[in-house]
Amino acid sequence: MKRTMRRGRDVRRPGLMSIPVLAAILLAAPISAQEGAADREGANGRDRTARAVRIERAPSIDGVLDEDFWATLPPITDFVQREPVDGGTPTERTEVRIAYDDRALYFGFTLYDSEPDRIRRSILHREGRIDQDDRVIIALDTYDDDRNGYIFELNAFGTQGDALFSDERNVLSDWNWEGVYYSEGRVTEEGWVLEVAIPFTTIRFARTQAPRMGIALYRSIRRKNEEVYWPHIPQRFRGGIAQASQYAVLDGLAGVKPGRNIQVIPFAVAGAQKTRGTNGTTTLEDIGIDAKYSITPNLTLDLTWNTDFAQVEADNVQINLTRFNLFFPEKRPFFLERANLFALGDTRETEVFFSRRIGLVNEIVGGGRLTGQAGPLSLGLLSLQTDDGLVVAGADTTRIQGANNTVVRVQGEVLPRTTVGAVLTNVQNSAHWDRTFGADVTARFWGSSIFRGWVAETMAQEGPGGGTGASSFTLEVRPTRLWQLEAGYTDIGEEFRPALGFVRRRDMVRTKAGAAIVPRFDGSRWARQLVLAVNGSYIEGQDGRKQSVDGLFHSMLGFQTGDNISLNVNHDAEVLNGPFAIRSDAAIPGGSYDWRTVTASARFNESRRYSGNARIAFGGFYHGDRVQLGGQFNWKTGPHLTLSGSVDHNDISLPLENGEFATTILGLNMLGAVSRALFANALVQYDTDSKTLRSNVRINWIHRPGSNLYLVFDTGYDLREQLDDPRLSRWTRRTGVVKLTWLQAF
């Protein structure tokens, strides 16, 4: 999960507070300020080669490497630590063998462990938090372009997680891609064994006689918090397993062809919904179809008709105590595959394309998406048609005309590790059109140093004449593992309103800078890494008037156990030109405000049976006071049930009418699994603002690879003491949906 940290400017006071902690660490362990041995060599993985050997008969994917050919294949064994000692020798031996035939690429892992009874395996549900277990990752740069690739993640059960990444960046949304492949794992007296088959119809690669790919292999030994790689990707490369420019070469493939990869997924949906304030029950009976076709080995076309997202999980409840928009991430599978290809802008701040804008009010009738490579270019084209929709506000009903929603994205590498791109978004119907043009550049250098810049302009048929542009430039310099610098500049116009985008804050010019030192303690038995960072920003409006100043001192100490503690001190200043409604019955008047906040937090290793996190923050808030308490407690009862409870509480005291109030969000997440093919999760939430108890239950049965049966129940129950109208039901909604999908591949 990503967390947004509050910033502050005061460095002097938090620096003094951290001296005792820092002194203790420096005395306890030698700091690894120098680069590791692998860093000094200056070589990347291209001097390593993994050889795939052709076999005549496919193995049975059962987690037992008992086929004769496995014993004849040369294993990859020379893994290197990245954690805890960058460039160190692994504490456990790993062997990986690679084979192939005309249909698939096969991997046989033998993962020795001196304490097999302590191998951590708790995740059965597909795409779960497999990183909490002992796991392996197979990463393939199938086009050998040093930028993009596939990730296949597996634990000792053989539970699968997978991702697509672009431009050597692996973000959360990448993990929503689900490829069809086969795996089985077993724990043995010597460790654990994993067998994997990745069909050539699942991955894209060049149609040549002997396709060449990049490859990287990863293993984590969770109880030791140890990570080993082949080839070694040093710590200075922050991309880790997505650092495709550092991959080894996968050689030996010959005579294999990418499949036509025609996939048709028809689906049927049936359900019923009862909503408070409406008469009767709404029933749903519908069918639709999704299809995938590889036009060429490099270009894939996705089509959808009568699109349905009934199986998508509910959003987490948020309470907005700021004067800016909240961000709710995209969760619909159709938009998540290769989502990073379409991205342009600052994530969760100013996104030129934000797919959640499509289909929120107007249902999606259908459309398509084309993604892939054309020579040196990465291409993305998305076009969806929405139907007419109705918006009900009290007694008023507004008809919203449907529209065509189109996005065109192009990226290309102009220099090694340097890409440039452009994007066009267009929303158009018979009455109106709205377009946004954008361009960006990304240059990676010195390991993980990076420069990013983008510009964009919006145009509308009946839009304003000025203030419709935006631009942003960020430079992050990380020449060594020990320290890093950051600087940035962002300019967002008053009327920058991309119809298919997300803009958290308009009318601003922001300048920011920061610095950090991140010493590692490779010789310590208990401390692993210290982070000391300061950063700040100054924001003014397009008229040059000051709007906000913020700064942060951040300190974090990570332990060899996988736990960490942190202390932050923030300084915030705000200038309000007019009143700001923090609640429906409370408004903060215009004026200048200045306050500080201290936040202490701790996070405990989530691979344990019991884990969690906790935080406390206290300080000023708009001439008043604010105390924040939050945390989460996780209990793994075993691989079949995990319970997570969470709380987020704010206690606010402001010197104004109705300025004394508190907000609380309570959550309970239950993950249950009968097997790797049948699992469920339930999210129950309550907040004191709406006083509504919400629940969302999803049951998923993978009845065959790529085919699912979903049962979804979604409810809301009003817990207020008195309803506005006593004749109303306390049930705000009750929904039950069943959805069946069936993958047919050709």
Who wins on pLDDT, 392 or 22?
A: 392
> How far is the C-alpha of 535 from the C-alpha of 183, rounded, in Å?
45
- Other Cβ atoms less than 10 A from the Cβ of 486: the count is 17
pLDDT for position 463: 64
**What are the distances in angstroms from CA 52 to CA 105, 210, 211, 689?**
8, 11, 12, 59
Question: What is the C-alpha to C-alpha distance for residues 68 and 119, in angstroms, rounded to an integer?
Answer: 27
Q: Is 616 helix (H, G, I), strand (E, B) or coil?
A: strand
| CA pair distance 39, 87, nearest whole angstrom | 8
As to burial, measured by CB atoms within 10 angstroms (0-12 exposed, 13-18 middle, 19+ buried), residue 440 is: buried
Contact 540, 505 (CB under 8 A): no
Burial of 72 (0-12, 13-18, 19+ CB in 10 A): exposed
Q: Is 364 left (phi over 0), alpha (psi -120 to 50) or beta?
A: beta
Q: CB under 8 Å to 27, separation ≥6 — which residues?
A: none
Average pLDDT over residues 716-725: 86
Whether the bond into 519 is cis, omega within 30 of 0: no
| Section 63-81 average pLDDT | 96
CA distance linking residue 39 with residue 16, whole number of Å: 34
**Residues 650-671: pLDDT tens digits?**
999 999 999 999 999 999 999 9
End-to-end Cα separation, the chain, in angstroms: 37
CA 10, 15, 17 angle in degrees (round to 5)? 110
44 in Cβ contact with 90 (< 8 Å): no
Contact (Cβ atoms closer than 8 angstroms) between residue 260 and residue 207: no
Span 93-135, pLDDT tens digits: 999 999 999 999 999 999 999 999 999 999 999 988 999 999 9
Q: Give φ, ψ of 172 to 5 degrees.
A: -60, -40
Q: Is the pLDDT of residue 11 over 70?
A: no
Q: How many CB atoms lie within 10 A of CB 587?
A: 17
Pair of tokens at residue 513 = 């800078």
pLDDT at position 16, please? 32
**pLDDT for 313:** 64
Could you give the CA distance from residue 501 to residue 355 in angstroms, rounded to a whole number?
8
pLDDT of residue 5: 33
- Least Cα distance to 185 among 144, 124, 237 occurs for 124
Lowest mean pLDDT of 23-37, 284-298, 510-524, name the range. 23-37
Q: Running DSSP on this structure, what letter comes out for residue 317?
A: P
pLDDT tens readout for residues 606-628: 999 999 999 999 999 999 999 99
Whether 228 and 90 have beta carbons less than 8 Å apart is answered as yes
What is the C-alpha separation between 39 and 529, in angstroms, rounded? 18
Q: What is the pLDDT of residue 727?
A: 73
d(CA 411, CA 168): 14
Cα gap 326→557, rounded to integer Å: 30
Instruction: Please compute the mean of the pLDDT values over residues 556-571 and round it to a whole number.
Output: 97
| Per-residue pLDDT tens digits for 341-369 | 899 999 889 999 999 889 878 889 999 99
Amino acid at 499: A
Question: In the beta sheet, which residues pair with residue 512?
Answer: 488, 537
pTM of the model: 0.85
User: Does residue 400 or residue 623 have the better pLDDT?
Assistant: 623
Reduced to 3 states, what is the DSSP secondary structure of residue 312?
A: coil
**Exposed (0-12), middle (13-18) or buried (19+): which is 74, by Cβ within 10 Å?**
exposed
pLDDT at 462: 76
Average model confidence (pLDDT) across the chain:
88
Of 287-301, 479-493, 517-531, the range with the lowest mean pLDDT is 287-301
Query: How confident is the model over 269-275, as a mean pLDDT?
Result: 90
* CB 175, CB 160: distance < 8 Å: no
CB 339 within 8 A of CB 173: yes
Asked whether 472 and 490 are in contact (CB, 8 A), the reply is yes
**pLDDT tens, 138-188?**
999 998 988 889 999 999 999 999 998 887 887 766 677 788 899 999 999
Residues 48, 51: Cα–Cα separation, whole Å: 10
Instruction: Please give the C-alpha separations between residue 341 and each of 171, 379, 423, 441, 502, in angstroms, as whole numbers.
Output: 11, 8, 10, 13, 17
Share of the chain above pLDDT 70, in %: 91
Q: Which two tokens stand for residue 261?
A: 């990869």
Q: What six digits make up the tokens of 603?
A: 């996070």
Residue 222 one-letter amino acid: R
